[in-house]
Amino acid sequence: MTDRVGGVARRKRPTMRDVAREAGVALRTVSRVVNDDPTVGAHLVSRVQAAISALDYAPDERARQLRRGTSGTVGAAVRNLADAHPVLSAVDDASRARGLAVLAMSTEDDEAREREAVLSMCRRRVDGIVIEPIGLTHDYLAPEIAAGLPVVAVDRPCAGVSADAVLSDNAAGIGMAYRQLSVHGHRRIAYIGDDERIFTGRERAAAFRACVAASGGPLSGMVFPGVVTASRVSTALAAVLSGPAPATALITGNVATTIEALRYLGADAGRLAVVGFDDFPLADILRPALTVVAQNSAVIGRTAIDLLVARAADPSRPVQTVTVPVELIARGSGELPAPPA
Amino acid sequence: MTDRVGGVARRKRPTMRDVAREAGVALRTVSRVVNDDPTVGAHLVSRVQAAISALDYAPDERARQLRRGTSGTVGAAVRNLADAHPVLSAVDDASRARGLAVLAMSTEDDEAREREAVLSMCRRRVDGIVIEPIGLTHDYLAPEIAAGLPVVAVDRPCAGVSADAVLSDNAAGIGMAYRQLSVHGHRRIAYIGDDERIFTGRERAAAFRACVAASGGPLSGMVFPGVVTASRVSTALAAVLSGPAPATALITGNVATTIEALRYLGADAGRLAVVGFDDFPLADILRPALTVVAQNSAVIGRTAIDLLVARAADPSRPVQTVTVPVELIARGSGELPAPPA
DNA sequence: TGCTTCCGAGATAACGTTATCCCACGCTGA
DNA sequence: TCAGCGTGGGATAACGTTATCTCGGAAGCA
């Protein structure tokens, strides 16, 4: 049983049929052995297993999935594959624990690419999708959800369709950051963060404004939401640090902003108290080590898979949004005292 | 056409059959339209497309793959999904450019898990596998490779089977690091790196020893290969920095070692000149900013997919190992001058 | 011994596609 | 007018599994 490809004799993959012939049993019996069906006699089992290893047979997962109607795979559409992605890792772990494989695709913060990735997952008939939504609307998912596809949004909710979601407690996190800086004597605190068209950017900026209003601090010239680019962050930071009454402390709304801010501050990092939203590896070896509001990625990933499995089991359950607590990790940069007025 | 699952009426997915019925054409005609077969009349095309969007039909990729015999997917078994992984990202990009999807799985540096991941990919009949090998032997891949599965090793070669490989120029990289430190006056240079049972650990340690031998520097008590743990790195570092003639410069053999070393050094980082093997995000905002030997992840990933596709096209082509150049990025830590003797 | 019962194992029909045939139709040329 | 031919489109058989149905035979009981 060989096949000529490119001029080379190359063995074709053995199928269940070949195993059956080799073992001298019926096709169905091989299937039973492969699926650990207990209704097969012991001697047949060993004969079939011998044939399997003799032929290096491995069942074709596609055919199995096609026949069974389920794929045993969850899709994960995440923003980025190149950078650290603790949530994806947690999703991977939780899925494996349940015997599910993960098909991860990167959306690169691009709406079209997100759509393409998600639809490709649907064509592969994944059993569910975990998505870190980018697009402003996900109505193209509506028919899929209606057809019973479990979809769980992570970090931000899906707009335009009703899907389960796992979010961090953004407001509480900003509150913790603000309080920490206040406790250390800061009154003039600035915020630079993500674009308010993005859900998290909106929530965090709003929470920050609420904190300032509650504490009676200055608001004007202190809040800078927008697209995260090196130039915008440095412009904002320059504005915040200049003038007659410069800020003495800074809250950054996401990792990208934090890093751009630190890059801009360079050796002067110790001049400004900083609390970053979201932790990242190496935050502890910076000088001063960075105080952060850390999201609980492990819990977020695990919860996402829990919700996904629950919905697969009962598609009629009410749509649920889970808010995961965040944690302030004090490492030094947020505990720098305010200079005496 | 509804199906009762968990007490809820849930629409079954439409199949090509349903589309054909809706459009009043034969099954095969729908298939032709879906695959852009030009031999279909324009009015039939539009009728079929109308039916497709009316029913929200999406072809079942599994059935298509089963029938065609090809899956349009490459598997990527990488060490880690949680941390930054620029090679995986490059593999993803290069694959997408060729119309291939990527099934990424994490091996977590565990031999059993690697094996499980790779075999799972085989069962899914991926068209090829990119692997960052962990296990000491990959003989379990031999039958797959014999059956024509293209396998490309990345970062390290596969032991036990002959597969294409894409490696960084480890020896040249260590040479660059050593030379940079020498140029800045260092004579007592230490090396801490990965276990020599690991290919890269072995190559880099060997290259380091060769550099020392060539320059006539001291070797004893200066080379510390081993498993990367916080305690081992700090023990090694303490040894290197103590005694009558402590090292004035350090080369670290991989990112994990670099980070542990910096963590141990803490505020004293400026006391020791450091060059790290492999770059990582944020290396530039450390103080002093970290000089590194950077691997060219983009080229590595792209080359891996190139090799994979080439082998798929011609399984008889000779097995090839590509060595990708590395680059020294001077940021400060490697340019600290040696203290006067 | 003869009948029922039960259990292990084989034939066969799906699952949703694509590929191979094959036919019906319209056009051309004699 | 009819044979010949090209072309668009339909029936049908795979692809490699699993589920349903059926059947042969061994064991249990009177």
Residue of A nearest to B117 (CA): A101
Q: Which amino acid is at B118?
A: V
Using 50, 70 and 90 to split pLDDT, how confident is the model at A3? Answer: very low
Residue of A nearest to B266 (CA): A285
Average confidence (pLDDT) over B226-239: 95
In chain A, which residues have their Cβ closer than 8 Å to the Cβ of B7?
316
Q: pLDDT tens digit string along A300-324?
A: 999 999 999 999 999 889 999 999 9
Q: Is the CB of A71 under 7 A from strand D?
A: no
Of B62, B65, B287, the CB nearest to A267: B287
pLDDT(B324) > 80: yes
What percent helix, strand, coil does chain A show, rounded to 5?
45, 20, 35
Q: pLDDT tens digit string along A147-184?
A: 889 999 999 999 888 899 999 999 999 999 999 999 99
User: Å between A62 CA and C9 C1'?
Assistant: 26
Burial of B156 (0-12, 13-18, 19+ CB in 10 A): buried
Residue A1: the pLDDT is 39
Is the CB of residue A298 less than 8 Å from the CB of residue B82? no
Using 50, 70 and 90 to split pLDDT, how confident is the model at A251? Answer: very high
User: Å between B95 CA and D13 C1'?
Assistant: 34
Residue of A nearest to B148 (CA): A10
- Give the best residue of B62, B126, B268, B297 to mutate against chain A (max A CB count within 10 A): B62
Residue of B nearest to A71 (CA): B62
Long-range CB contacts (within 8 A, 24+) of B146-150: B146/A11, B147/A10, B147/A11, B147/A12, B147/A13, B147/A56, B148/A5, B148/A10, B148/A11, B148/B315, B149/B122, B150/B307, B150/B308, B150/B309, B150/B311, B150/B312, B150/B315
Q: Is the CB of A68 under 7 A from strand D?
A: yes
Residue A341: the pLDDT is 64
In chain A, which residues have their Cβ closer than 8 Å to the Cβ of B63?
66
Helix (H) or strand (E) holding B329: strand B326-329
C-alpha B132/C-alpha B163 separation (Å) is 12
The H-assigned helical ranges of B170-254 are 170-183, 199-215, 230-241
Domains along the sequence of chain B with CATH = 2-59 (1.10.260.40), 71-168+297-325 (3.40.50.2300), 170-295 (3.40.50.2300)
Judged by CB atoms closer than 8 Å, whether chains meet at A88 and B82 is answered as yes
Tokens of B224: 């510390």
The alpha carbon of residue B178 is apart from the nearest alpha carbon of chain A, in Å, by 25
Three-class SS of A125-189: CCCEEEECCCCCCCHHHHHHHHCCCCEEEECCCCCCCCCEEEEECHHHHHHHHHHHHHHCCCCCE
Q: pLDDT tens digit string along B60-94?
A: 999 999 999 899 999 999 998 888 899 999 999 99
pLDDT(A4) > 70: no
Average confidence (pLDDT) over A243-266: 94
Average confidence (pLDDT) over A105-133: 94
How many whole angstroms from its chain centre is CA A327?
18
Q: pLDDT tens digit string along A43-60?
A: 888 999 999 999 999 999
**Closest nucleotide (CA of A37 to C1')?**
C8
Q: pLDDT tens digit string along B8-17?
A: 445 578 999 9
Judged by CB atoms closer than 8 Å, whether chains meet at A123 and B61 is answered as yes
Using a pLDDT cut of 90, give the percent of chain A over it: 77
- Give the best residue of A1, A61, A87, A260 to mutate against chain B (max B CB count within 10 A): A61
- Give the best residue of A124, A125, A145, A296 to mutate against chain B (max B CB count within 10 A): A124
Is the CB of residue B177 less than 8 Å from the CB of residue B275? yes
Of B86, B101, B267, the CB nearest to A120: B101
Flag the least confident range among A36-45, A103-112, A202-211.
Answer: A36-45
pLDDT(A142) > 60: yes
Strand C nearby residues, CB < 7 A: A 25-29, 39-41, 44, 63, 66-67, 69; B 12-13, 15-17, 27-28, 31, 34-35, 57, 59-60, 63-64, 66-68
Q: Is the CB of A55 under 7 A from strand D?
A: no
Q: pLDDT tens digit string along A57-70?
A: 999 999 999 999 99
For A160, residues 6+ apart whose C-beta sits below 8 A from its C-beta are: A136, A137, A138, A139, A142
Residue A11: the pLDDT is 59
Q: pLDDT tens digit string along A189-199?
A: 999 999 999 99
Using 50, 70 and 90 to split pLDDT, how confident is the model at B41? Answer: confident
Residue B143: the pLDDT is 87
